[in-house]
Amino acid sequence: MNELAPSRYSRAVRLLHWTTLALLIVVYATAELRGFAPRGSGLRAQVMQWHMFLGVLVLLLVLPRIGARLARPAPAILPPPARLLALAAKATHLLLYAFLVLQPLLGLITAQSGERAVVIPLLQWPLPLLFGPDHDLHEISEDLHVGLGKIFYAVIGLHAVAALWHHFVVRDNTLRRML
Task: Supply the minimum distance, in Å, between the C-beta of residue 174 and ligand HEM.
Answer: 5
Instruction: For ligand HEM, give the closer residue by CB, 4 or 117.
Output: 117
Tell me whether residue 41 or residue 156 sits nearer to ligand HEM (CB atom): 156
Q: How far is the CB of 103 from ligand HEM (least distance, A)?
A: 4
Which amino acid makes up residue 23?
A: L
Alpha helix (H) residue ranges in the chain: 11-33, 42-71, 83-113, 135-165
Query: What is the C-alpha separation between 9 and 50, in angstroms, rounded?
Result: 30
CB closer to ligand HEM out of 93 and 135: 93
Report how far apart the first and last C-alpha atoms of the chain are (Å, whole number): 21
In the complex, which residues of this chain contact ligand HEM (CB under 6 A)?
A: 17, 20-21, 24, 27-28, 31, 51-52, 55-56, 58, 69, 74, 89, 93, 96-97, 99-100, 103-104, 107-108, 110-111, 116, 118, 142, 145-146, 149, 156, 159-160, 163, 174-175, 177-178
Whole-number minimum distance, CB 166 to ligand HEM, in Å?
7
Measured from the CB atom, the residue of 3 and 23 that comes closer to ligand HEM is 23
- 15 vs 97 by CB, closer to ligand HEM: 97
For residue 120, what is the DSSP state?
A: E
CA dihedral 92, 106, 25, 19 (to 10 degrees): 70
CB of 11 to ligand HEM, least distance (A): 14
| Cβ atoms of residues 88 and 154 within 8 Å | no
CB 135 to ligand HEM: min, Å: 13
Distance in angstroms (rounded) separating the CA atoms of residues 83 and 89: 10
Handedness of CA 110, 114, 119, 121 (dihedral sign): negative
The Cα 104–Cα 145 span in angstroms is 8
